[in-house]
A and B are shown apart, each in its own frame.
Chain A
Amino acid sequence: MTKYIGKSVKRLEDKRFLTGQGKYTDDIKLVNMAYAYILRSPYANATINNIDISEAKAQPGVAAIYTGADIPESIAGVPCGWQVNFKNGDIMKEPPHPLLVRKKVRHVGDGVVMIVADSRAIAKDASELIDIDYDIHDAVTDPKKAAEPGAPLVHEELPSNVCFDWELGNPKDEVAAALASAAHVTELDFTNQRVVPNAMEPRSAIGHYDTAYDRYTLHTSTQNPHLTRLLMCAFVLGIPEHKVRVVGPDVGGGFGSKIFHYTEEALVTYFSKILGRPIKWTADRSEAFLTDAHGRDHVTNAKMGFDANGKIVALQAYTYANMGAYLSTFAPAVPTYLHGTLLQGLYTTPKINVDVTATFTHTNAVDAYRGAGRPEATYLLERLLDLAALEMKVDPAELRFKNFIPAFDGVTQPGYQTQVALQYDSGNYEPVLKRALEMVGYEAFRQEQANQTNGKLLGIGFSTYIEACGIAPSAVVGALGARAGLFESAQVTVQPTGKVSVYTGSHSHGQGHETTFAQVVADKLGIPIEDVEIIHGDSDRVAFGMGTYGSRSLAVGGSAIVKSLEKVLEKGAKIAAHLLEASADDLEYNDGKWTVKGTDKSVAFGDVSLTAYVPHNYPEGIEPGLDFSSFYDPTNFTYPFGAHIAIVEIDKETGAIKLKRFIAVDDVGNVINPMIVDGQIHGGLAQGIGQALHEGAMYDEDGQLINGSYMDYCMPRADDFPSFEIDRTVTPCPHNPLGVKGAGEAGTIGSTPAVVNAVIDALWKGGHEVKDIKMPMTPERVWNAMQD
């Protein structure tokens, strides 16, 4: 009965994007709109002595200039949505993040003055006439150095730069004892470098206050309009939530960076009322580099112990995580509950301990970036495994097979309880690696590698990962520190004519929900997909939503839709039974109609919907209409997994790396639209590979972001990649009605360590037994590694 589910249905949203009719925030023009430019701190740590705006204010076309002094004290700044406690139970340090700084700037890019003018050009020109007198202080940018005594303080009211410390897993002494008795211990010090999300659409926000209705509208490039509304209304501006509409229209990519509630959203909203004009702010790319929350930035030491048979006996990890100068919305969750909890990986490791110290530095905030914590966990585990295989002279694939958790379906067999809090839902790990090895042609490759004579070094790298996504159960995330529920809502409105409008709290910014969700709806109702419209991203149209991140849309948002569809069909059956003069129990629903079992008496979906709205001949005691809302709060996360293999070739003369092949076999549970899932994997791979080979935000000692533009930050380009070779296995999720797990982040999570491992493998084969190459692995770094 599935006409659409499982099929590569072409995307219904494509036409508007292909014809230039997508509506991104910056494309919106409101009557009498003014344009904001934000003058930002050029220093990482400085005290503001004076701000002189007089000359700028006098410029023709300048409507207003606002500083921190124009914002009431009661508006402290944007809040953090996740609380992590110190090991001793104290609440994490949570200094305010002001909308505009009054006294002390804490990173390059901290907002100081907002200039509003008739055009962006005028506002920008005027900003050059503003004179700010700063006293400049020393800065600290490295998360480990920030924790040292005597480091320059980011928040002088705090005793140190430590935001929190945190620990999870088995007691440290048990882990230490297991490591002490291990036959082999592999230890690695490494940095998971900071990267910049770089959604191609720069962030943009338009605030508009309507005096007639005493109501605000905020258009913003966000991944979750409702959460932005809640945070901004309740925790920043103190305006009633029902008086604010937040619209996230078409959004040009997010990758995490547009989850968070940003200062600019509150600024344009707040000042639009004061100015009496709509205010638009759009970041230019340099601002995006300085202010979009960054990703990763962990400094880690990790030890993995093995017994004489190659079984992992213990893992100990210490990580310093950079929070930046202020806590972004979900920042504390990333190095802790999204990272430490994943250190079981796919392996039966009996003793695991992870210890995390999060610090403030004079840098831009760090928060969830595609994968969020799980790429860091995967990097930690998979680097250790491949290195251990080299050190112990065993095959890295064999080493994994030896340590995999045995298959379990989560239905007849229970889920797998890890040492680090999570319970995996279902898993079958051997087949993904087997399939990947088959695709590589593993034996032939090892032959080729051994016989290589062309002055190049061939290497192969593995990564077998697990991730936790479908970020949800409210009770669980609440216990882990989330200050929000993480369910999803969906309303299914069947129109009288049988056409269906679906209002989802998920938000699409490239994922193709308008198609995937419509496939589910059309199949479940047995109606043509053209009869379904998916509506998202507008708090006035969609009653509530938690938005899209953590690969949660289909698993949580899709399940909420299914719940509403079930209610539609249940009520529809009662109406149909009345029309057919039968009992609802005697009906079956198929192909868009209810039929009395064993007869040819039937009534179509459209007739039932019409009856629901024209209830002349209608069952007693039933309300008119066919319209249901549901909230879905699952019982667990979902746990996709996979095997990634990279093959690289290093030029011995130059250190240049060529990524020759990349193989990914992922298991994301059931698949609704294979074409879209493949696309998600491709994009994820490019981001993960980009981190390994090209990308990395670089702050100098003074806290300047020295590669904050596309001239200096290396974005992966088309000619950096081969065609990806991908496949999948299917292990359904046992606890949601669609059996889906989520595919948005898998590619990024698995791919980075595979590429680094491949380079290390190549170097070892060339006689250079190095443990690590810093990412991004530039030719210079690789060349230096060969000069031992």
Chain B
Amino acid sequence: MANKISINVNGKMHTGAIEARKLLSDYLREDLSLTGTHIGCDTSSCGACTIHLDGKAVKSCTILAVQADGCSVTTVEGLATNGELHPIQEGFKEEHGLQCGFCTPGMMMTATDLLKSNPNPSEQEIRDALEGNFCRCTGYHNIVKSIQYAAKKMA
């Protein structure tokens, strides 16, 4: 069963026919080859697939692509502008907030949403905000520092 959708992804319109049951995460990865959005689980727990849907951080495996019809999506591929890293990307690099990099896109999308609503979060607020994002490599220590770096940079 094909459904027509148009979605603005990273500033570019995509129109196409897709299966109604297709998850947004699969649509991004398979149909648009935007493989920076990762799939780490099948229970909407890990946050590796986090993107921005109309500016809000959303786990893209929790919604169907058809539900995003008419919406605007930002993925990790859309974070940098003209080759210049976003402050959150810079923070992760400067503070060694990533190791294998698998959780990183989701972490950064969650973090940028946090900084939008709370530009100067405390360490505890950062840790609480990351509750839905798992990282197995870093022990979260440097992820917290990376987000603090970005907060400072964006202030």
Interface, chain A (partner B; CB < 8 A): 8, 10-11, 13-24, 26-27, 29, 121, 198-202, 250-253, 255, 284-286, 509-512, 675-676, 678-679, 682-687, 709-711, 715, 717-719, 721, 723-724, 747
Contact = CB atoms under 8 A, between A and B. Distances in A.
Given A22-B102, A200-B48, 6 more contacts: A252-B38, A676-B96, A684-B139, A710-B134, A718-B128, A719-B128
A533 B134 CA distance: 31
A14 B91 CA distance: 11
B113 to A, nearest CB: 15
A683 B139 contact: yes
A715 B131 CA distance: 10
Chain B at the A interface: mostly helix, strand, loop or mixed?
A: loop
Contact of A18 (B37, B75, B85): B85
Contact of B131 (A8, A509, A717): A717
Interface in B95-110: 96, 98-105, 108
**Interface magnitude class on chain B:** 35 or more
Contacts of B105: 20
B35 A27 contact: yes
Most chain A beta-carbon neighbours within 10 Å: one of B38, B101, B102: B101
Given A18-B85, A27-B35, A687-B136, A679 B96 contact: yes
B79 A284 contact: no
A199 B37 contact: no
27 contacts: A10-B93, A17-B101, A18-B85, A18-B108, A20-B35, A20-B36, A20-B77, A20-B105, A24-B38, A121-B21, A200-B48, A200-B103, A201-B102, A253-B137, A285-B40, A285-B42, A509-B100, A678-B142, A682-B139, A687-B139, A709-B42, A711-B43, A717-B131, A717-B134, A721-B139, A721-B140, A723-B144
A517 B76 CA distance: 28
A198 B45 CA distance: 13
A201 B104 contact: no
B57 interface: no
A724 B42 contact: no
B138 interface: yes
Nearest to A684: B139
Given A18-B98, A253-B99, A682 B42 contact: no
Contact of B101 (A510, A686, A719): A510
Contact of A724 (B127, B131, B141): B141
A3 to B, nearest CB: 20
A686 B100 contact: no
Given A10-B93, A253-B102, A679-B96, A20 B41 contact: no
The 5 closest A-B pairs by CB, nearest first: A20-B36, A17-B101, A252-B102, A510-B100, A686-B139
Given A17-B98, A18-B98, A24-B38, A717 B136 contact: no
Given A22-B36, A200-B40, A675 B76 contact: no
A55 to B, nearest CB: 21
B9 interface: no
A19 B80 contact: yes
B104 to A, nearest CB: 5
Given A718-B127, A719-B131, A683 B35 contact: no
Contacts of B136: 198-200, 253, 255, 683, 687, 715
Contacts of A724: 139, 141
Interface of B: 19, 21, 29, 33-43, 45-46, 48, 75-77, 79-80, 85, 89, 92-94, 96, 98-105, 108, 123-124, 126-128, 130-131, 133-144
Contact of B141 (A21, A29, A201, A682): A682
Given A253-B102, A719-B130, A18 B135 contact: no
Contacts of A19: 36, 76-77, 79-80, 85, 89
A685 B139 contact: yes
Contacts of B141: 679, 682, 721, 723-724
Contacts of A200: 38, 40, 46, 48, 100, 102-103, 134-137
A359 to B, nearest CB: 29
A20 B75 CA distance: 8
Contacts of B29: 27
Contacts of B43: 285, 709-711
Contacts of A251: 100
A722 to B, nearest CB: 9
A675 B144 CA distance: 15
Contacts of A255: 136
Nearest to A679: B96
B99 A679 contact: yes
A16 B130 CA distance: 23
Nearest to A713: B45
Contacts of B144: 718, 723
Contact of A686 (B41, B104, B140): B140
Nearest to A23: B35
Contact of B140 (A10, A23, A509, A718): A718
Contacts of A511: 99
A11 B96 contact: yes
Given A11-B93, A18-B89, A202 B40 contact: yes
Contacts of A252: 38, 100-102
Contacts of B98: 14, 17-18
Contacts of B128: 718-719
Most chain A beta-carbon neighbours within 10 Å: one of B21, B89, B105, B140: B140
Nearest to A680: B99
A21 B83 CA distance: 13
Contact of B41 (A22, A24, A710, A747): A710
Contacts of A20: 34-37, 75-77, 79, 105
Contact of B104 (A17, A202, A718): A17
Contacts of B143: 718
B35 to A, nearest CB: 4
A175 to B, nearest CB: 38
Contacts of A27: 29, 35
Contacts of B142: 678-679, 682
A73 B73 CA distance: 51
A510 B43 CA distance: 25
B15 to A, nearest CB: 21
Contacts of B21: 121
A769 B18 CA distance: 63
Most chain A beta-carbon neighbours within 10 Å: one of B99, B124, B138: B99
Contacts of A512: 99
Contact of A201 (B34, B100, B138): B100
Contacts of A747: 139
A34 B102 CA distance: 24
B41 A285 contact: yes
A300 B79 CA distance: 51
A423 B123 CA distance: 44
A20 B105 CA distance: 7
A676 B85 CA distance: 21
Contacts of B96: 8, 10-11, 675-676, 678-679
